[in-house]
């Protein structure tokens, strides 16, 4: 495997990073403040469009799931099927993936998701409200959901 780093710039969000093996996505870092340039990669362009509020699908992106357990793979595949503009709770996600009662494990998967936006963990909320969003924080998650016209 030969990983290559691709940088993209999303207006109002900052720069993000993609790590690719050929066209297979290995890792995605969400945009943060700062400017690192833009490599002009097509996936970076799609992510720029997403962060501009355009309805972009990432269903065709090949992802590296070699690190996943069967549970993690089921959760990732289920999460990729949650439509833009909709949310599910961690419990609903676990049940839809075939693991009812595994909401904490589904939350752990989301917390360690290597493919944010492509595997849209921002569309998963707690039963009591919006829930967390790792080091980016709740306001970042709110901004992502606002792009999809979801208000919590």
**Which active-site residues does the annotation give?**
121
Q: Do you know the residue count of the chain? A: 152
**Cα–Cα–Cα angle for 12, 119, 20, rounded to 5 degrees:** 80
Count CB-CB contacts under 10 A for residue 130.
Answer: 17
Q: Are 77 and 59 in contact (CB under 8 A)?
A: no
Q: Are 88 and 94 in contact (CB under 8 A)?
A: no
């Amino acid at each position: 495997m030969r990983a290559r780093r691709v940088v993209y710039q999303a207006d109002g969000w900052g720069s993000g990073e993609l790590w690719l093996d050929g066209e297979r996505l290995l890792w995605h870092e969400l945009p943060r403040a700062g400017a690192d340039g833009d490599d002009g990669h097509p996936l970076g362009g799609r992510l720029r469009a997403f962060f501009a509020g355009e309805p972009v699908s990432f269903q065709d992106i090949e992802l590296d799931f070699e690190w996943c357990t069967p549970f993690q793979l089921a959760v990732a595949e289920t999460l990729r099927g949650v439509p833009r503009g909709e949310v599910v709770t961690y419990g609903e996600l676990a049940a839809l993936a075939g693991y009812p009662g595994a909401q904490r494990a589904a939350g752990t998967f989301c917390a360690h998701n290597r493919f944010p936006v492509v595997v849209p963990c921002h569309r998963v909320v707690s039963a009591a409200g919006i829930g967390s969003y790792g080091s980016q924080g709740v306001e970042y998650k709110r901004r992502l959901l606002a792009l999809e016209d979801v208000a919590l």
